[in-house]
Homo-oligomer: A and B are copies of this chain.
Amino acid sequence: MGLSGELFIGNERLRSGASFRAIAAATGEALEPAFFAADVVMVDQACRLANSAFAAMRTVSAAQRAGFLESIAEQIMALGDALLTRAATESGLPLARLGGERARTVNQLRLFADELRLGGWQGVRIDPALPARQPAPRSDLRQYQIPLGPVAVFGASNFPLAFSVAGGDTAAALAAGCPVIVKGHPAHPGTSEWVAQAVIAAARQCDMPAGIFSLLNGESYELGAAIVRHPHIKAVAFTGSRTGGLALQKIANERAEPIPVYAEMSSINPVVLLPGVLAVKAEALAKEFVASLTMGTGQFCTNPGMVLALAGPDLDRFTASVADTLKQIAPSVMLTAGIHANYESRVERLLQHAHVNVIARGDAVTSRSCGRAALFSVDASAVLRYPEISEEMFGPASVLVRCRDLAEMLEIINHLEGQLTATLHFNDLDIELARALLPSLEAKVGRLIANGWPTGVEVSHAMVHGGPFPATADGRSTSVGTLAIERFLRPVCYQDFPDSLLPAMLRNDTFVNYPHRYDGEYRVAAADSATESS
């Protein structure tokens, strides 16, 4: 199985005049082959084809889309471990981690396939006609959700499988019925090409219209901008830096027709250690914390970048234990030289900061592009005065915030920007303190974690991987879990149409087979209801 470096525009493979190479994260070596970079003509071509595919998707049922998602999962598995090897070389991530990420990637494709078959995502609401109502009759009104149109997905560097070409955003958009144009991340173009091959093979196998999927590679800012500016693109999904996300949002807002941007950008995921649990578990918590902090060289959106606790001997024990553990952590290679340089400069800024103390660094033995862990300590009052202390350092670095009392801890929490997660460690003695903090924590985040760690995101129905700005550009949604499908849908109402002209899902003999509302009443699918009564 070879790599050609060509682009995918629908089912066509294309070459262009410009190219770039993947860089092996660990060695800095340029890898074979050269990858062609898409130009603006190709952007237009892919977007037009996606728009034609969008029209053609009207005749493709949700069940067929479900089959397509499952086929993508199969085709990805059929790529075998060569995919993982290439991803490991490009990203520097360990094979075991990438094996887990592949499992997550195919699981989320299958989860969306199941979700499509349940049908509740279409949000069917039927208000039957009331011809005799006074003072005026009511029309027959039927609502469902339809796809927005072609979606631009920006692959993320830190999940070359699960948040990239066929990752969560692509799965959700395809599930919704939206064609997808992926702007491939230049850090893993080989991984991208193979996954794109899998998607295209699945599309052919399942008779999807050409243009349902395209992959445009490239290194330039202008490529991404051209995709977001294209009038056929109706929504954007992005995972990456705050700078990158805000730039795309600005472009989207300045279009003649503004479009939604779902950008997951920046989070320091505060972890609060309450005194009761800290008194009895300081050392165990320290070990768990370091494991969460340094996992994947800290390159998770949910990395615990801030710890809040009350100053005192228990916190000192926790701190000492973290320092002991952290010193033994060998630095590991980061995703790209750029990410490494950015990490180093953020760490350096805190090392030089007059109000920040360094508590511990990871093991000093380091090689090229390796991220050396760092734990800082600071008084709460400094956090309020120096906003740079609360800025994300993408990598294995965290700031321990010493609070005088609960009031000061609450002040810090209220002062924080929006976050993906907040974590609370407590035991029975801390329940009232936890209760006092929870409203403020909830106001800041998309997910609250009790006595655990923020890294590790379950792909399920109840998961929220989102949160208020700047954690994401749009806190009204999630990028992980089945709720993500709603980002790519909008409601439409049919008034007084005969059954023969209604969309399939809204017809009299069909809607009862799906969860729906009838005159406001919540009803499950007829089959489930029958099972319940039996």
Contact = CB atoms under 8 A, between A and B. Distances in A.
A434 to B, nearest CB: 6
Interface residues of A, number: 86
Contact of A258 (B126, B141, B451, B473): B473
Interface string A426-442: 00000100110011001
Q: Chain A contact residues: over half helix, strand or loop, or mixed?
A: mixed
A243 interface: no
Nearest to A478: B491
B446 A501 contact: no
A521 B462 CA distance: 11
A436 B520 CA distance: 31
List the number of copies, as a whole number: 2
Contact of A463 (B445, B464, B493): B493
B495 A452 contact: yes
B452 A496 contact: yes
Nearest to A259: B469
A496 B141 contact: no
Contacts of A466: 490-491
Given A450-B501, A464-B493, A501-B434, A520 B482 contact: yes
Given A143-B462, A462-B493, A524-B522, A501 B449 contact: no
A27 interface: no
Contacts of A468: 257, 490
A357 to B, nearest CB: 30
A213 B435 CA distance: 27
A444 to B, nearest CB: 10
Interface in A101-155: 114-115, 118, 120, 125-127, 135-136, 138-139, 141-143, 146, 148-149
Nearest to A446: B492
A424 to B, nearest CB: 8
A205 interface: no
Contacts of A461: 125, 127, 143, 517, 519-520
A55 B344 CA distance: 39
Given A114-B520, A253-B253, A452-B496, A483 B143 contact: yes
Given A139-B449, A448-B493, A463-B493, 12 more contacts: A125-B483, A141-B458, A146-B442, A446-B492, A450-B501, A452-B495, A466-B491, A468-B490, A476-B489, A483-B491, A522-B525, A522-B528
Interface of A: 55, 58, 100, 114-115, 118, 120, 125-127, 135-136, 138-139, 141-143, 146, 148-149, 249-250, 253, 257-258, 260, 418, 431, 434-435, 438-439, 442-443, 445-452, 456, 458, 460-464, 466, 468-470, 473-478, 482-483, 489-498, 500-501, 515, 517, 519-525, 528-529, 532-533
